[in-house]
Amino acid sequence: MDADNLEKINSILDADVEIREKIKDQVTEFDKRTRNLAGILNRIHSTRSGQMPALLETARPVLASCRESTAAIADIIPPNQFWKWRDMWTNSLRNAVFSATLMEYLQSGGLLSLEQVAGLLGINPEWQDRFALSVEDYLHGVITLVNELSRLAVNAVTLGDFEQPIKISLFVKDVFAGFSMLNLKNDLLRRRYDSLKYDLKKIEEVVYDVSLRKLAPLAKHES
Amino acid sequence: MTSLPPATLASRESILSAFEKFRDELDDHNDRRERLIKVGFLVHGPSSRDITNLSKKLIFLLHRTVTEDAGESEDRVLGLRAATRAKPKLSEIQSLFARLREELAGDRFWRYQRNVSPGLQEYIEALSFAHYLEHKTLISYEQVQSTLTDQEGVPYFVLPLEDYLLGLADLTGELMRFAIASIPRRGGRQKASDICSFVRACKADFEGLTPYLKELRKKQSVTSQSLEKIEDATYAVVVRTSEYDMPPELLDDLVAQTVSRAADRSSYGDEPRRKRARDADYDTDDE
């Protein structure tokens, strides 16, 4: 290999190594934030519905701080190289999607749209070729949400909240109907989608237990 | 969250309509992926005209070109002939890359790089083999990139360094085959020893880059095996040659004479075929 060529190769490699190091630092930060957030939200399983708004308040600034991470990463990525590097932060991003959608569900009972999540995480549509929230990442986050809600259905009952499992059941069925519309390839998303039925089953069992024992406010639910 | 537009998906209908958009987007993505795999890059695809297939065929063509003609032993002539034959095939492959340009525009290239990689590497293997036969050098990154660039000098896509290096790593395997096939031919021993040094240099160059590229690390062991095969072959040649104190060309001639004499003898011994040939001669004479 002649010297010119070797030099060219090394300059490409050096540039890549530098970018990778920089991203890695930022992803570490991003990861800390999303873990912190998940840690706070883990308390929903032991929080009565009256205390829930206060808990969400403490989580909000942490979610907002994720904006700094997305901006810092977007800043590093060269134009058109989003897909070259995205594997590095995809886990953190999916966790952030999960937390954001969980918080919204607990507050309004609805599903945060992809655009809304992107907005909350400060992801600028102009960054599209450098940093974006892909459909895949969003859907992974939503599947994690369903996983979590099946746990919450159980724990809410333990805390004496018999209404929550029924709300969760309705919500998760709608989300599942959405997923059923997708033509998924044989990939991780597909496998995780396939596993959703166990969450649905678990939630249904809780609803069944609660209804059978007339614990749930039936009249309200039926009206 | 109150600052957000009131677009939370609060009903089954709104969720379904959002997922409908996701479906379209995912379908679009999967379709493009399939197209890229079929048109250009599948290793065992239904189409015989994909990039991988054409590149493999070109490699076979190059091997045939440099070993078929027993009469021509001039290295330079064979190299030029190989390059001339390779040119139209390479253009054909390059035009396939040009056709995929739109599919790979902007940030899409890196999204589908994994699907593009196998064909691209096979192409670089063929291209670098043709280049070696003509110039006896390793094709540079910029030279490969320039073959994937339109007439205005705009690249179809930026060549990933990894694909360039992995394509070259496969070249060493082709060179091993070439070296071994050359040995029984006139001038082949010298050729094998040239290739041996060349592959050794390649391996050393790659070694410095392996810390950054996992795939290259894997291919290095294959390169080592190829190199060892060439080394063993050239070793055997040197050991045997050392027993005779004469220049390599004379040795070549001696071997060639022995081979041709053996060929003559075998045709004398092959009575039926010779007879038939003579009969055929008489027949044509009669007419």
Q: Quick one: which of A14, A117, A24, A128 has its CA closest to A69?
A: A24
Structure tokens at B48: 């015989």
SS (H, E, C) chain B: CCCCCCCCECCHHHHHHHHHHHHHHHHHHHHHHHHHHHHHHCCCCCCCCCHHHHHHHHHHHHHHHHHHCCCCCCHHHHHHHHHHHHHHHHHHHHHHHHHHCHHHCCCHHHHCHHHHHHHHHHHHHHHHHHHHHHHCCCCCHHHHHHHCECCCCCECCCCCHHHHHHHHHHHHHHHHHHHHHHCCCCCHHHHHHHHHHHHHHHHHHHHCCHHHCHHHHHHHHHHHHHHHHHHHHHHHHHHHHCCCCCCHHHHHHHHHHHHHHHHHHHHHHCHHHHHHHHHHHHHHHHC
Mean pLDDT lowest for which of A180-194, B32-46, B180-194?
B32-46
Using a CB-CB distance cutoff of 8 angstroms, which residues of chain B are in contact with residue A53? none
List of E strands, A58-164: none
pLDDT in tens, A98-140: 999 999 999 999 999 999 999 999 999 999 999 999 999 999 9
- Residue A68: Cβ-neighbour burial (10 angstroms; 0-12, 13-18, 19+): middle
pLDDT band at B235 (very low <50, low <70, confident <90, very high): confident
The mean pLDDT of B22-39, rounded to a whole number, is: 89
Mean pLDDT of chain B: 83
Give the closest-approach CA distance of B221 to chain A in angstroms: 19
* Full set of structural domains in chain B with CATH: 25-159 (1.20.58.190), 172-249 (1.20.58)
Query: B30 vs A116: CB contact, 8 Å cut-off?
Result: no
CA dihedral sign, ordered B257, B263, B264, B269? positive
pLDDT given at position B63:
93
Most distant pair of Cα atoms in chain B: their distance:
106
Structure tokens at B192: 């094998």
pLDDT band at B283 (very low <50, low <70, confident <90, very high): very low
- Start-to-end CA span in chain A (Å): 78
> Tokens 């950054």 belong to which residue?
B212
Query: B212 vs A17: CB contact, 8 Å cut-off?
Result: yes
Mean pLDDT lowest for which of A168-172, B47-51, B97-101, B214-218?
B47-51
Which residue of B9, B23, B165 is in closest CB contact with A183?
B23
Give the closest-approach CA distance of A176 to chain B in angstroms: 10
- The strand pairing partners of A111, in sequence order, are B9
Give the whole-number percent of chain A exceeding pLDDT 90: 91
**Would the pLDDT of A78 be above 60?**
yes
Q: Which residue has the higher pLDDT, A129 or B72?
A: A129
Give the closest-approach CA distance of A135 to chain B in angstroms: 6
Q: Which of residues 159-178 of A touch B (CB under 8 A)?
A: 174-175, 177-178
Using a CB-CB distance cutoff of 8 angstroms, which residues of chain B are in contact with residue A184? 26
> Tokens 């994690």 belong to which residue?
A144
Q: What are the helix and strand counts (H, E) for chain A?
A: 9, 0
Q: Whole-angstrom Cα distance, residue A37 to residue A95? A: 9
* Full set of structural domains in chain A with CATH: 3-222 (1.20.58.2140)
pLDDT given at position B277:
44
Say what the pTM is. 0.83
pLDDT band at A168 (very low <50, low <70, confident <90, very high): very high
pLDDT given at position B21:
96
Q: What is the ipTM of this complex?
A: 0.90
pLDDT in tens, B242-274: 777 777 777 777 776 776 776 666 554 444 444
**Would the pLDDT of B3 be above 60?**
no
Inter-helix orientation angle A188-212/A164-180, to 10°: 150
The mean pLDDT of B148-157, rounded to a whole number, is: 94
Using a CB-CB distance cutoff of 8 angstroms, which residues of chain A are in contact with residue B215? none
